[in-house]
Amino acid sequence: MTPAALAALHAKCFTTPRPWSASEFASFEDSAFLLSTPQGFLLGRVVVNEAELLTLAVDPAARRQGVARGLVEGFKTRATEDGATLAFLEVAADNDAAIALYRSTGFEDAGRRRAYYRRPDGSTLDALVMRCELGDR
């Protein structure tokens, strides 16, 4: 997927946090890995032994069909192959569907970042920080 295609799908999926631009996606080309399907994508990176799930987007028409679960499991496998033993992510505290997905794939609550995201109306929203021990996969 091109940075423009990533940005277009991200814009279909997010208002809070705000969707990323094509130039923001392009800025990750050398420091992150992309997993994609025709219906969605996941951007992640590994630094030393820690992985970070940067963003996950699935076309709203393809949700609840296992696309996101497959991408998260692929992220965990790729991160382990790249030397990570621990993975982190941040998710909007009101995104119940994403939180349920992450918990069902082995992520646990690790903390909260107060007022981390800004909504389009200017109000703020907490981010839930989640972690997952990767171990040997």
Question: Active-site residue numbers?
Answer: 90, 102
CA distance 16 to 14: 6
Question: Please, which residues have CB within 8 angstroms of residue 127's CB and are 6 or more apart in sequence?
Answer: 90, 91, 92, 93, 112, 113, 116, 117
